[in-house]
Amino acid sequence: MDDEWNYPIPEGSIVATNLAALKGESITEVTRWEEDEWDMYVGASQDVPEEEIRIVPFATMLGIDKSLEAAINLQVEKGLWRENGNDPWENWEEEC
């Protein structure tokens, strides 16, 4: 928490995520909607109940899972997915 911010995104970037992700389950879906806003969910975003969604700093998510660094380079309105936390990230477009 005291480290200098060395990422090419705004330090105040935020993430909408679900409680399962905050409890340590592997995030399987990531999308970037604005320059400083992402969604990162365990499971499909459309299946996440609204009452389980939380807004947290991007830095918090990196602290939970370093593999989320891949999301830093996403273009706005692009996404990544994976079957589980051990799988490599894949681009959304390739599977749509």
Residue among 62, 63, 64 nearest 72 (CA): 62
| Entry pTM | 0.89
| Greatest alpha-carbon span in the chain | 40
Q: Read off the pLDDT of residues 23-65 as tens digits, 9 standing for 90 and up.
A: 999 999 999 999 999 999 999 999 999 999 999 999 999 999 9
- C-alpha to C-alpha distance for 74 and 35, rounded to whole angstroms: 10
- DSSP H or E stretch at residue 78: strand 78-81
Contact 54, 19 (CB under 8 A): yes
Q: What is the rounded average pLDDT for all residues in the chain?
A: 92
Mean pLDDT of all residues in 13-32? 96
